[in-house]
Amino acid sequence: MKKIKVSHEVPLCLLEHSTQYNDYQYCLPHLMDKYEEYKNFFLQCRDKGIHIMMDNSLHELGTPYSKDRLLYWLEELKPQEFFIPDYWQDKTKSLVSAKEWAQYKEQFPDTVFIPVVQGNSKEEALECFSIYKNHLEYKKIAFSYGASWYKDVIEYNTPHSEKNIHARTMLGRIDFINWLYELGFLDEHDDIHLLGCQLPQEFSFYEKEIRNIISTIDTSNPIMASIERLEYTKFGLETKPKTRIDDVMEISISSIDISLLNRNTLYFKTLNNL
């Protein structure tokens, strides 16, 4: 079974520490412009030949980072992979963006451009994926973790189903990806990335056929859980940490239980057989 590579976004005080548990480094471009320490770390990663995936900062900003700054950092950082601008649950705007950014592939031949599946329903997301793959010919495609309709993909009848929206949303992404595979839209030749997670145990539920086409995962979950003093159990977590990376970028290392953080990052991989 193919090795799935994992990266956890971290605050400034943990940038160097993250090299102990990250298989690659995940860059948020708006932070490159905000923090000199962050920028220098990623430029050092570039110079050391460390694999870098550069996001477009939609999740953090609510809208993709400016086009001129994304192009600047593509040229300067030379990431191996880049998530082109997408728009939250907006299939049309995301497809227009994917078509626009496809023209830059030749300008950055050493960077894999990755679109993110968006849509306001299961059917819209399927159409978005199909166009990315079959018409715009993107070779690697990403799936976000928190689409609002994920929670409605499967019927839940357990007593806690209404309370645990995190579990429902987690299972919704799993079900959606399985559905694409069963319909033949996804196959063994595909390459996908999973953006974030609702609950850290999600990745243990994918069947071998799906795991073989997931090449990369990014999530700050074990880091944010540690900052909130949440310890992973053998089942993972029941709720998603509320902390966002932008809220804790300047946190001091003395505020973090490093022993707990080391345990959670290790347990994340153990829990998911990574």
What single letter denotes the amino acid at residue 84? I
Q: How far is CA 38 from CA 10, 14, 29, 64, 209, in A?
A: 10, 10, 10, 19, 37
Confidence tier at 160 by pLDDT (50, 70, 90): very low
Q: What's the average model confidence in pLDDT over 132-156?
A: 90
pLDDT at 164: 82
Q: What's the average model confidence in pLDDT over 133-158?
A: 87
Q: What's the average model confidence in pLDDT over 70-94?
A: 98
pLDDT at 159: 47
Average confidence score pLDDT of the chain = 94
Q: Among residues of the chain, what percentage have pLDDT more than 70?
A: 96
Q: What's the average model confidence in pLDDT over 84-108?
A: 97
Q: Among residues of the chain, what percentage have pLDDT more than 90?
A: 90
The CATH number of the domain where 97 resides is what?
3.20.20.105
> What would the pLDDT profile of 230-270 be if each residue is shown by its tens digit?
999 989 999 999 988 999 999 999 999 999 999 999 999 99
79 touches 27 (CB < 8 A): yes
Confidence tier at 219 by pLDDT (50, 70, 90): very high
Residue 149 has pLDDT above 80, yes or no: yes
Q: Torsions phi, psi of 233, nearest 5? A: -100, 180
Confidence tier at 220 by pLDDT (50, 70, 90): very high
Confidence tier at 2 by pLDDT (50, 70, 90): confident
User: What is the distance, to the nearest Å, from the Cα of residue 99 to the centroid of all Cα atoms in its chain?
Assistant: 21
Structural domain that includes position 116 = 5-271
Count of structural domains, the chain: 1
Q: What is the DSSP code string of 99-145?
A: HHHGGGTTTSTTSEEE-EE--SSHHHHHHHHHHHHHTS--S-EEE-S
